[in-house]
């Protein structure tokens, strides 16, 4: 099983009845990183009325959220719901609200915070990490064309191709394809290939 997150930081905003909602999203891998991100957004937006947030962490299986002064259940929960529906982990979203003087009501707040989070999510670059192995293979030059035809069938992510005394290839392959690929590499080259595998890695295949 893989997981989906986002790369780096992104943000997007919109206006709803004179209130500005700014969705900030960042990849995080610990509670410390999430809290630091939240605090940095609050520091940058000291004049904002609210900085609602939610974050989800894969490794520790932790989810946290805060309404930050909005009526209970109208801010943090809608943001977390969007992250759950999008299937994102290792992620933190902060939605900053600059109050425009017009009350939105509970339903209006839920819609606004959900929309701001979705805008932020859609603005970010997604990463799909899959459990995989890194394969380092060495073979003869006359085998290269055969390998070039085979490897794309297994959706490998090529890292390096070196053409020296022999051809040296380094690539990632998803765990579920690894054993079959190694077998086909050996069969295709009649055993004239050296294969070294590094297991239990995670790599972005998006």
Please report, for the chain, the start and end positions of each structural domain, with discontinuous segments joined by +: 3-123, 131-204
The predicted model scores a pTM of 0.80
- DSSP for 123-180 reads HSEEEEEEEEEEEEEEE-GGGHHHHHHHGGGGT-EEEEEEESSSEEEEEEEEHHHHHH
Same fold: 3-123 with 131-204? no
Strand arrangement of the beta sheet that strand 62-66 belongs to: 9-16, 19-27, 91-98, 50-57, 62-66
Per-residue DSSP letter, 45 = T
- Digit-coded pLDDT (tens) for 73-107: 999 999 999 999 999 999 999 999 999 888 899 99
**CA 171 – CA 161 distance, rounded (Å):** 9
- Indicate the pairing of strand 193-204 with strand 125-139: antiparallel
- CATH superfamily, domain 3-123, is Impact, N-terminal domain (3.30.230.30)
Residue 92 contacts by C-beta under 8 Å, 6 or more apart in sequence?
A: 25, 26, 28, 33, 34, 37, 38, 53, 54, 55
Which phi and psi angles does 44 have, rounded to 5°? -75, -15
pLDDT band of 2, cuts 50, 70, 90? confident
- Digit-coded pLDDT (tens) for 152-175: 999 999 999 999 889 999 999 999
Q: Could you please state the CATH topology (level 3) that the domain comprising 131-204 is classified under.
A: Alpha-Beta Plaits (3.30.70)
- Digit-coded pLDDT (tens) for 31-77: 999 999 999 999 999 999 999 999 999 988 999 999 999 999 999 99
- Indicate the pairing of strand 19-27 with strand 91-98: antiparallel
Task: Name the helix (H) or strand (E) containing 78.
Answer: helix 76-86
Tokens of 133: 């192995």
């Amino acid at each position: 099983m893989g997981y989906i997150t986002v790369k780096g930081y992104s943000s997007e905003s919109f206006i709803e009845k004179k209130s500005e909602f700014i969705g900030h999203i960042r990849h995080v891998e610990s509670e410390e990183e999430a809290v630091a991100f939240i605090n940095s957004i609050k520091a940058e937006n000291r004049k904002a009325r609210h900085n609602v947030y939610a974050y989800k962490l894969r490794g520790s299986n932790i989810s946290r959220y805060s309404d930050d002064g909005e009526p209970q259940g109208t801010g943090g929960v809608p943001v977390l719901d969007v992250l759950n529906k999008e299937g994102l982990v290792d992620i933190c979203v902060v939605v900053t609200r600059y109050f425009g003087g017009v009350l939105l009501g509970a339903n209006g707040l839920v819609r606004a915070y959900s929309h701001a989070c979705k805008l932020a999510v859609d603005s970010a670059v997604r990463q799909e990490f899959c459990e995989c192995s890194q394969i380092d293979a060495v073979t003869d030059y006359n085998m290269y064309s055969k390998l070039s035809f085979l490897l794309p069938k297994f959706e490998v992510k090529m890292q390096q191709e070196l053409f020296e005394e022999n051809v040296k290839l380094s690539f990632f392959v998803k765990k579920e394809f690894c054993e079959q690929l190694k077998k086909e590499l050996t069969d295709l080259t009649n055993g004239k290939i050296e294969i070294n595998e590094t297991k239990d890695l995670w790599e972005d295949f998006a």
